Amino acid sequence: MSKWQVGFRDSASVIVTAHAKPCRLRLTLAGLVGQEYGGALELIVVADGASTEVFDVLGEYQKYCSNLRVLESPGLGRAGARNLGADNAKGHWLVFVDDDILLRSDFVFQHMRCQQLHPGLVKGRLREIIGLTDVEDPAQGGVGCRPVEEEILRNGLWSHDGIRVVSNALEQAAERQEGFQAPWLASAGANLSISRANWQVCGGFDERYGKSWGLEDIDFGYRVYRAGIEIFICEQALGLHMSHPQENRWQQQDKNWRRFLSNDDSPEVQALPALLAEEGSVAKFTEAVHQIRQQAVSPC
Protein backbone atom coordinates (compact mmCIF):
# COMPACT_ATOMS: atom_id res chain seq x y z
CA MET A 1 0.00 0.00 0.00
CA SER A 2 2.72 2.47 0.97
CA LYS A 3 5.22 3.71 -1.62
CA TRP A 4 7.50 5.31 0.92
CA GLN A 5 11.18 4.40 0.80
CA VAL A 6 12.88 3.15 3.94
CA GLY A 7 15.22 5.83 5.30
CA PHE A 8 15.86 8.01 8.32
CA ARG A 9 13.57 10.83 7.23
CA ASP A 10 10.78 8.31 6.76
CA SER A 11 11.31 6.48 10.04
CA ALA A 12 8.46 6.78 12.51
CA SER A 13 8.08 5.98 16.19
CA VAL A 14 4.57 5.33 17.48
CA ILE A 15 4.36 6.19 21.18
CA VAL A 16 1.59 4.77 23.37
CA THR A 17 1.17 5.42 27.07
CA ALA A 18 -0.53 2.69 29.08
CA HIS A 19 -1.75 2.58 32.66
CA ALA A 20 -4.74 0.40 33.51
CA LYS A 21 -6.89 -0.41 30.47
CA PRO A 22 -5.56 -3.83 29.38
CA CYS A 23 -8.54 -4.87 27.22
CA ARG A 24 -8.48 -1.61 25.29
CA LEU A 25 -4.68 -1.62 25.04
CA ARG A 26 -4.82 -5.10 23.53
CA LEU A 27 -6.96 -3.86 20.63
CA THR A 28 -4.86 -0.73 20.15
CA LEU A 29 -1.72 -2.86 19.88
CA ALA A 30 -3.43 -5.25 17.49
CA GLY A 31 -4.19 -2.33 15.20
CA LEU A 32 -0.60 -1.12 15.37
CA VAL A 33 0.78 -4.58 14.61
CA GLY A 34 -1.41 -4.58 11.49
CA GLN A 35 -0.01 -1.33 10.07
CA GLU A 36 0.97 -1.25 6.40
CA TYR A 37 3.85 1.19 6.17
CA GLY A 38 6.90 1.06 3.93
CA GLY A 39 9.24 3.08 6.13
CA ALA A 40 11.08 2.03 9.26
CA LEU A 41 8.58 1.79 12.11
CA GLU A 42 9.01 1.20 15.82
CA LEU A 43 6.40 0.95 18.54
CA ILE A 44 7.14 2.27 22.03
CA VAL A 45 4.75 1.62 24.91
CA VAL A 46 5.38 3.55 28.10
CA ALA A 47 3.92 1.51 30.94
CA ASP A 48 3.27 4.35 33.36
CA GLY A 49 2.50 3.01 36.82
CA ALA A 50 0.89 0.19 34.87
CA SER A 51 -1.21 -2.65 36.25
CA THR A 52 -0.08 -6.28 36.17
CA GLU A 53 -2.72 -6.96 33.49
CA VAL A 54 -1.18 -4.29 31.25
CA PHE A 55 2.25 -5.92 31.54
CA ASP A 56 0.67 -9.27 30.68
CA VAL A 57 -0.72 -7.80 27.43
CA LEU A 58 2.62 -6.20 26.60
CA GLY A 59 4.48 -9.45 27.19
CA GLU A 60 2.11 -11.22 24.83
CA TYR A 61 2.44 -8.59 22.13
CA GLN A 62 6.21 -8.61 22.18
CA LYS A 63 5.81 -12.06 20.60
CA TYR A 64 3.80 -10.56 17.73
CA CYS A 65 5.86 -7.41 17.25
CA SER A 66 9.65 -7.53 17.05
CA ASN A 67 9.90 -3.73 16.95
CA LEU A 68 7.93 -3.21 20.17
CA ARG A 69 9.85 -1.63 23.04
CA VAL A 70 8.40 -1.29 26.53
CA LEU A 71 9.53 1.48 28.86
CA GLU A 72 8.51 1.55 32.52
CA SER A 73 7.78 4.71 34.51
CA PRO A 74 6.49 5.06 38.08
CA GLY A 75 3.31 7.05 37.33
CA LEU A 76 4.36 10.31 35.68
CA GLY A 77 1.01 11.10 34.09
CA ARG A 78 0.33 11.39 30.38
CA ALA A 79 2.60 14.38 29.73
CA GLY A 80 5.62 12.84 31.43
CA ALA A 81 5.02 9.39 29.94
CA ARG A 82 4.73 10.78 26.41
CA ASN A 83 7.92 12.76 26.89
CA LEU A 84 9.74 9.64 28.09
CA GLY A 85 8.64 7.79 24.98
CA ALA A 86 9.67 10.65 22.70
CA ASP A 87 13.06 11.01 24.39
CA ASN A 88 13.79 7.33 23.71
CA ALA A 89 12.34 7.18 20.20
CA LYS A 90 14.59 6.56 17.21
CA GLY A 91 12.26 7.74 14.46
CA HIS A 92 12.42 11.03 12.58
CA TRP A 93 8.65 11.32 13.10
CA LEU A 94 6.83 10.91 16.41
CA VAL A 95 3.27 9.58 16.31
CA PHE A 96 1.28 9.70 19.55
CA VAL A 97 -1.63 7.34 20.21
CA ASP A 98 -3.54 6.65 23.42
CA ASP A 99 -4.06 3.12 24.74
CA ASP A 100 -7.77 3.06 23.92
CA ILE A 101 -7.83 3.87 20.19
CA LEU A 102 -8.90 1.53 17.38
CA LEU A 103 -6.83 2.00 14.21
CA ARG A 104 -7.10 0.96 10.61
CA SER A 105 -4.06 -0.50 8.87
CA ASP A 106 -3.34 2.75 6.98
CA PHE A 107 -3.13 4.93 10.10
CA VAL A 108 0.65 5.54 10.16
CA PHE A 109 0.81 5.77 6.38
CA GLN A 110 -1.84 8.51 6.36
CA HIS A 111 0.01 10.49 9.02
CA MET A 112 3.25 10.27 7.06
CA ARG A 113 1.55 11.13 3.78
CA CYS A 114 0.10 14.25 5.38
CA GLN A 115 3.48 15.15 6.90
CA GLN A 116 5.03 14.88 3.44
CA LEU A 117 2.47 17.34 2.07
CA HIS A 118 2.07 19.57 5.15
CA PRO A 119 4.97 19.16 7.59
CA GLY A 120 4.09 20.42 11.05
CA LEU A 121 1.75 19.13 13.72
CA VAL A 122 -0.69 16.69 12.14
CA LYS A 123 -3.76 15.67 14.09
CA GLY A 124 -5.73 12.68 12.87
CA ARG A 125 -9.49 12.59 13.10
CA LEU A 126 -10.92 11.18 16.35
CA ARG A 127 -14.39 9.76 16.81
CA GLU A 128 -16.11 8.32 19.90
CA ILE A 129 -17.57 4.83 19.60
CA ILE A 130 -21.13 4.82 20.91
CA GLY A 131 -22.01 2.35 23.65
CA LEU A 132 -18.62 1.29 25.07
CA THR A 133 -18.33 3.47 28.18
CA ASP A 134 -19.54 0.73 30.53
CA VAL A 135 -18.11 -2.20 28.55
CA GLU A 136 -15.08 -3.81 30.18
CA ASP A 137 -13.85 -5.60 27.05
CA PRO A 138 -14.62 -3.80 23.75
CA ALA A 139 -13.70 -6.97 21.85
CA GLN A 140 -17.12 -8.25 22.91
CA GLY A 141 -18.84 -5.23 21.35
CA GLY A 142 -21.64 -3.15 22.78
CA VAL A 143 -24.63 -1.05 21.83
CA GLY A 144 -23.73 0.49 18.50
CA CYS A 145 -20.45 -1.42 18.27
CA ARG A 146 -20.13 -4.90 16.82
CA PRO A 147 -17.50 -7.22 18.35
CA VAL A 148 -13.94 -6.24 17.47
CA GLU A 149 -11.86 -9.22 16.37
CA GLU A 150 -8.27 -8.93 17.55
CA GLU A 151 -6.84 -11.26 14.91
CA ILE A 152 -8.44 -9.26 12.09
CA LEU A 153 -6.85 -6.12 13.50
CA ARG A 154 -3.42 -7.79 13.68
CA ASN A 155 -3.76 -8.92 10.07
CA GLY A 156 -4.54 -5.39 8.90
CA LEU A 157 -8.02 -6.32 7.69
CA TRP A 158 -10.18 -4.46 10.20
CA SER A 159 -12.80 -1.95 9.06
CA HIS A 160 -14.98 0.33 11.16
CA ASP A 161 -18.01 -0.32 8.94
CA GLY A 162 -21.13 -0.87 11.04
CA ILE A 163 -19.74 0.87 14.13
CA ARG A 164 -21.66 3.94 15.26
CA VAL A 165 -19.47 6.93 16.08
CA VAL A 166 -19.89 10.57 17.04
CA SER A 167 -17.53 13.55 17.24
CA ASN A 168 -17.20 15.26 20.61
CA ALA A 169 -17.33 19.03 21.07
CA LEU A 170 -13.54 19.45 20.96
CA GLU A 171 -13.30 17.58 17.66
CA GLN A 172 -16.11 19.65 16.19
CA ALA A 173 -14.41 22.89 17.24
CA ALA A 174 -11.03 21.77 15.89
CA GLU A 175 -12.55 20.88 12.53
CA ARG A 176 -14.91 23.87 12.11
CA GLN A 177 -13.09 26.93 13.51
CA GLU A 178 -16.24 29.04 13.05
CA GLY A 179 -16.49 32.31 14.96
CA PHE A 180 -13.09 31.95 16.61
CA GLN A 181 -9.45 31.41 15.71
CA ALA A 182 -7.89 28.57 17.68
CA PRO A 183 -6.07 26.10 15.41
CA TRP A 184 -4.28 24.79 18.51
CA LEU A 185 -7.50 23.01 19.49
CA ALA A 186 -6.48 20.41 16.88
CA SER A 187 -3.94 18.79 19.18
CA ALA A 188 -5.60 15.82 20.90
CA GLY A 189 -2.72 13.66 22.13
CA ALA A 190 -4.63 10.48 21.33
CA ASN A 191 -3.87 10.94 17.62
CA LEU A 192 -1.14 13.30 16.44
CA SER A 193 2.28 13.38 14.80
CA ILE A 194 5.19 15.80 14.71
CA SER A 195 8.85 15.69 13.68
CA ARG A 196 11.48 15.13 16.33
CA ALA A 197 13.00 18.54 15.50
CA ASN A 198 9.71 20.39 16.04
CA TRP A 199 9.07 18.36 19.17
CA GLN A 200 12.37 19.60 20.59
CA VAL A 201 11.65 23.21 19.58
CA CYS A 202 8.39 23.14 21.55
CA GLY A 203 9.82 21.34 24.57
CA GLY A 204 7.38 18.42 24.56
CA PHE A 205 4.38 18.14 26.87
CA ASP A 206 4.38 20.21 30.06
CA GLU A 207 4.97 17.73 32.87
CA ARG A 208 3.65 20.17 35.47
CA TYR A 209 0.17 18.89 34.56
CA GLY A 210 1.18 15.75 36.43
CA LYS A 211 -1.39 13.00 36.81
CA SER A 212 -4.42 15.25 36.43
CA TRP A 213 -6.54 14.50 33.39
CA GLY A 214 -6.87 16.81 30.40
CA LEU A 215 -5.45 19.85 28.53
CA GLU A 216 -1.78 18.84 28.55
CA ASP A 217 -2.19 18.10 24.84
CA ILE A 218 -4.05 21.36 24.08
CA ASP A 219 -1.30 23.20 25.96
CA PHE A 220 1.25 21.50 23.71
CA GLY A 221 -0.72 22.42 20.59
CA TYR A 222 -0.88 26.01 21.78
CA ARG A 223 2.91 26.17 22.13
CA VAL A 224 3.31 24.57 18.69
CA TYR A 225 1.08 27.30 17.28
CA ARG A 226 2.97 30.06 19.08
CA ALA A 227 6.23 28.68 17.71
CA GLY A 228 4.93 29.28 14.17
CA ILE A 229 4.61 25.57 13.33
CA GLU A 230 1.60 24.88 11.14
CA ILE A 231 -1.17 22.60 12.35
CA PHE A 232 -3.14 20.34 10.02
CA ILE A 233 -6.02 17.91 10.42
CA CYS A 234 -5.72 14.63 8.52
CA GLU A 235 -9.17 13.17 8.01
CA GLN A 236 -7.76 9.89 6.67
CA ALA A 237 -5.71 9.15 9.81
CA LEU A 238 -8.77 7.99 11.71
CA GLY A 239 -8.75 6.87 15.33
CA LEU A 240 -11.83 5.50 17.10
CA HIS A 241 -11.89 6.09 20.83
CA MET A 242 -13.07 3.16 22.95
CA SER A 243 -14.68 5.35 25.61
CA HIS A 244 -14.46 4.43 29.31
CA PRO A 245 -15.31 5.94 32.71
CA GLN A 246 -12.89 8.60 33.98
CA GLU A 247 -12.94 9.25 37.72
CA ASN A 248 -13.13 12.94 38.70
CA ARG A 249 -12.69 13.87 35.05
CA TRP A 250 -14.39 17.26 35.22
CA GLN A 251 -12.66 18.34 38.42
CA GLN A 252 -9.26 17.37 37.05
CA GLN A 253 -9.96 19.11 33.76
CA ASP A 254 -10.97 22.32 35.53
CA LYS A 255 -7.74 22.26 37.55
CA ASN A 256 -5.68 21.85 34.38
CA TRP A 257 -7.62 24.59 32.59
CA ARG A 258 -6.67 26.99 35.36
CA ARG A 259 -3.02 26.07 34.88
CA PHE A 260 -3.34 26.65 31.14
CA LEU A 261 -5.12 29.97 31.78
CA SER A 262 -2.19 31.16 33.89
CA ASN A 263 -0.03 30.99 30.74
CA ASP A 264 -2.47 32.74 28.41
CA ASP A 265 -5.75 34.56 28.99
CA SER A 266 -6.90 35.00 25.39
CA PRO A 267 -10.69 34.85 24.85
CA GLU A 268 -10.42 31.35 23.39
CA VAL A 269 -8.51 30.06 26.42
CA GLN A 270 -10.87 31.79 28.85
CA ALA A 271 -13.86 30.25 27.08
CA LEU A 272 -12.57 26.67 27.06
CA PRO A 273 -14.89 25.44 29.86
CA ALA A 274 -17.85 26.24 27.60
CA LEU A 275 -16.42 23.76 25.11
CA LEU A 276 -14.90 21.07 27.33
CA ALA A 277 -17.45 20.82 30.13
CA GLU A 278 -19.77 17.83 30.31
CA GLU A 279 -22.52 19.82 28.57
CA GLY A 280 -20.11 21.89 26.45
CA SER A 281 -20.62 22.59 22.76
CA VAL A 282 -19.16 24.57 19.88
CA ALA A 283 -22.12 26.96 20.01
CA LYS A 284 -21.57 27.69 23.73
CA PHE A 285 -17.84 28.12 23.16
CA THR A 286 -18.34 30.51 20.23
CA GLU A 287 -20.83 32.57 22.23
CA ALA A 288 -18.48 32.69 25.22
CA VAL A 289 -15.58 33.87 23.04
CA HIS A 290 -17.83 36.56 21.55
CA GLN A 291 -18.96 37.77 24.98
CA ILE A 292 -15.39 37.92 26.34
CA ARG A 293 -14.29 39.95 23.32
CA GLN A 294 -17.21 42.33 23.76
CA GLN A 295 -16.41 42.81 27.43
CA ALA A 296 -12.79 43.61 26.55
CA VAL A 297 -13.96 46.29 24.12
CA SER A 298 -16.70 47.69 26.37
CA PRO A 299 -15.82 46.81 29.98
CA CYS A 300 -18.70 48.92 31.27
Is 241 a domain residue? yes
Alpha carbon distance 276, 274 (integer Å)? 6
Alpha carbon distance 109, 135 (integer Å)? 30
Is 56 a domain residue? yes
Is 290 a domain residue? no
Alpha carbon distance 143, 132 (integer Å)? 7
Burial of 87 (0-12, 13-18, 19+ CB in 10 A): exposed
Is 280 a domain residue? no
Beta strands in the chain (DSSP E): 12-18, 41-48, 68-73, 93-98, 101-103, 121-129, 165-166, 191-195, 231-241
Q: Which domain holds residue 192?
A: 8-251
Residue-wise pLDDT tens for the chain (300 aa)?
344 444 556 899 999 999 999 999 999 999 999 999 988 999 999 999 999 999 999 999 999 998 999 999 999 999 999 999 999 999 999 999 999 999 999 999 999 999 999 999 999 999 999 889 889 999 999 988 999 999 999 999 999 998 999 999 999 999 988 878 899 999 999 999 999 999 999 999 999 998 888 899 999 999 999 999 999 999 999 999 998 877 788 788 889 999 999 888 899 999 999 999 989 999 999 999 999 999 877 655
Is 299 a domain residue? no
Alpha carbon distance 224, 120 (integer Å)? 9
Is 279 a domain residue? no
Domain count, the chain: 1
Is 58 a domain residue? yes
Is 260 a domain residue? no
Three-point CA angle 215, 219, 224, nearest 5°: 145
We report the CATH number of the domain holding residue 103 as 3.90.550.10
